[in-house]
Chain A
């Protein structure tokens, strides 16, 4: 394998990494194959389904549309980084409580988007939650449990990590 590689420094879930990556490697493939963080899923690889959503410096991004080299100097949070000291993030718990997941394939991306939403606006309305979820495909749940999960935390009832 003779592909040219480029050095990057990236922090993933609080842990710094120095890596040499090919130019065409996507951030999603770096996370999944390089760092074995397979919670970030690939459903369409063209930025439509949202399963690969991660936070880049706190802002949601499609890991399938971002190159690993673009993550140089950035801090990435994936679904594996949501738990704190063995405790589920309140949104993770809320999704379970409100039957907001079934097959679980879209769930990691949905979690990252809703974490971003609730961090930015602690009391989103149902319409705002649904709009935030517009960038996610879920074929199982009809999104209803996700909406209810986010609503249950709306109003500052526990968005802190």
Chain B
């Protein structure tokens, strides 16, 4: 911040500008938008996990009341550049290119894969007619277990792929074998780490309308990355970029799955084009379970080497990842798991061999945390194992391995997925953990635990540290425009799913222009508002879009001051921008509103603009972070376990986190709270199940269990603020850190509660049944 700016809005608990409409039920989610003549779509989906689709009989469906069209792959194919959707994030390690298809043509590869699209006057009619579509599918043996998938002679998950090994790669550095030979202690574990879905309360939805007057295809989509969806739609339909607009209106939560561009995102707009009518599809919850991507299983087989003091020598092993049937989002998920394992620790040698298996299930793509919780879980639990085996405190083992603040910036021996060095930019990990232990009363816990045990209560404590690479590039955009009305319009490629994106970006802008953030109109998630943009992923929008807004606002400010200097006949340095108006220092009466400045910069026919100025009071910036910035934190969980029932009660949950400078503490806390609760679900509740034939067995709630209010303790959040040098705001991302260490801390606490029984929890989620089984075997 320069001294002339008013930083007053940053770091404050500014009320959300999003709330006024949402509280009144006036949000505009995709399902709330109605266009004239709008029709309704329903997808026909494969009932089996794998099969040959021999034929599809839609005669009865086409004759059903209200039906306007039934589309199969063969009918859509002539209107598409390809039936395949171009893969996002290709990676060299990928052996089979298995793009999702707009509709399955001759082979179905997971239960829930779309094979036809029915469009009718009402949703009821579309659903009735979809049920009349007859599928002739020859069932093939489904590939469900990722381990069996890679056995020689295994059935193939996709007939077009020679085997089921989608990718194999190694993340490694250091002298691993010598480290293990030299280490006095080696411990081995196998983990089966399930993670569930995104489960935004709003499902997906797409509404497409083609305007014949200007040949504009507008698509409203509950999407995290509308600019990329637009790119995929343009490529699939062969349309010019200026004839497709994608809008993410109000979006009812994202959490990862909505950054995938799905087959429905292309099929629905194409149906609208072919029918010449707007078409809306709202995913139902069963479809969300079956056809929206989610995380699933990772099998880790690892061993850790340490000395007698608990110092890490090395870690090595294998990770087997259940990938699913196609690749809408590369292999980022297991890559993140592998690289995030390091966490805030000095690990001298590391080798992880990762195998990614094709299976006949919906694709696994990142949900909140994006594979990092699993890597963190493995490291944290191996540290606990070292502590327990060597009779050391779990906190002490961590203390001995944490990267010291003097080592910052700390260059890890790893690279990020773009090939750049993975460098932790800033943070004080030992101080962060010390804060957490002090605030949690960790020192006193053993006494409390003894007292509780005497009273018949089994309580335990667990802790977990994490780092998270945030603020991923390559860029985010911001454009600020002020017209003669004086209204400040801030457009950005960032997209909003509840984070408070509009509020926090308005705060940044308001600080530079010295005005109330509530007076700024923020346009997010609309490709018509700004040409380029990326959107919501990798905990990035506050810092990355925020930095773009900061620069864009500074440009507008400088321009306003320069223009006003001509108009007020004063030197720019004698001017100040106060409360949204330019005035001469010391002469408050001599002022020009930003609208008046904008009026002049709009020009008058035949009259020159003030010298040295271009038209318009506006600016446009794409800010490119030079590297990831790393947030960090420590979580402490306290639980009570009932050994009879296996029931686990969360007694206390404490977070100390450092995501750099806080732009709005309330919004940051909101991100952490939601993230922690997602992590609690990951630890204890959430599990997507399939039957023996690969058909989803969890197709609703509470078969799939989400965290609910009564099971949650009050979550305590404490902030540390180590500004990152990589961002002009000093801010790091905060979207996923809440989830990353949660399962490790909770599971550690459960084990601790059951001492002296030495149980070792290696499978998530820890259900009462699983816990009882472990206790019975102990």
Contacts and interface: CB of A to CB of B under 8 A. Distances in A.
Contacts of B710: 127, 130-131, 133-134
Contacts of B18: 104
Nearest to A91: B23
Interface in B11-38: 15-16, 18-19, 21-27, 29, 31-32, 34
Nearest to A83: B24
A96 B24 CA distance: 11
Contacts of B284: 45
A131 B24 CA distance: 24
A104 B66 contact: no
Interface string B703-741: 000111110101100000000000000000000000000
B124 A49 contact: no
A43 B285 contact: yes
B499 interface: yes
Interface in B277-314: 282, 284-285
How many chain B residues sit at the interface, stated as a range, is 35 or more
Interface in A92-142: 92, 95-97, 99, 101-108, 111, 127, 129-131, 133-134, 136-142
Contact of A103 (B65, B200, B678): B200
A141 B674 contact: yes
B19 A79 contact: no
B701 A141 contact: no
Interface stretch (A34-42, A55-63, A68-76): A34-42
Given A1-B65, A144-B673, A139 B706 contact: yes
Contact of B16 (A1, A42, A96): A96
B669 interface: yes
Tell me whether chain B's interface is mostly helix, strand or loop, or mixed.
loop
B673 A1 contact: no
A78 interface: yes
B701 A48 contact: yes
Contact of B25 (A37, A127, A137): A37
Interface string B242-264: 00000000111101000000000
Contacts of B202: 41, 43, 103, 105
B252 A134 contact: no
Nearest to B23: A92
A137 B285 CA distance: 13
B673 A41 contact: no
A24 interface: yes
Contacts of B198: 139
How many chain A residues sit at the interface, stated as a range, is 35 or more
A40 B34 CA distance: 15
A152 B742 CA distance: 29
A108 B29 CA distance: 13
Interface in B198-252: 198-203, 250-252
B285 A103 contact: no
Contact of A24 (B15, B34, B124): B124
Given A41-B29, A139-B706, A102 B500 contact: yes
Nearest to B673: A142
Contacts of A44: 285, 700-701
A85 B712 CA distance: 37
B80 interface: no
Nearest to B120: A1
A160 B520 CA distance: 33
A3 B201 CA distance: 31
Interface string A4-42: 000000000000000000101000000010001111111
Given A38-B31, A107-B23, A134-B710, A46 B201 contact: no
B253 A140 contact: yes
A108 B253 contact: no
Contacts of B121: 1
B643 interface: no
B125 A1 contact: yes
B673 A101 contact: no
Contacts of A104: 18-19, 21-23, 27, 250, 252, 498
Interface string B473-503: 0000000000000000000000001111000
A101 B498 CA distance: 8
B16 A105 contact: no
Nearest to B33: A38
A67 interface: no
A133 B25 CA distance: 19
Contacts of B702: 48
B749 interface: no
A146 B500 contact: no
Nearest to B15: A96
A2 B29 contact: no
Contacts of B251: 103
Nearest to B703: A48
B155 interface: no
A130 B500 contact: no
B716 to A, nearest CB: 10
26 contacts: A1-B65, A1-B122, A39-B25, A41-B252, A42-B31, A44-B700, A45-B285, A46-B700, A83-B24, A99-B16, A102-B674, A103-B200, A103-B202, A103-B251, A104-B21, A105-B201, A105-B498, A111-B23, A137-B201, A137-B708, A139-B677, A142-B673, A142-B674, A142-B715, A144-B673, A147-B714
Interface of A: 1-2, 22, 24, 32, 36-46, 48-49, 51, 78-80, 82-83, 88, 92, 95-97, 99, 101-108, 111, 127, 129-131, 133-134, 136-147
7 closest A-B pairs by CB: A39-B25, A103-B498, A105-B252, A104-B22, A102-B498, A79-B25, A48-B701
Given A104-B23, A138-B201, 16 more contacts: A39-B27, A43-B201, A96-B16, A96-B23, A99-B666, A103-B253, A104-B18, A104-B27, A105-B202, A129-B709, A130-B709, A137-B701, A137-B708, A140-B253, A142-B677, A144-B714
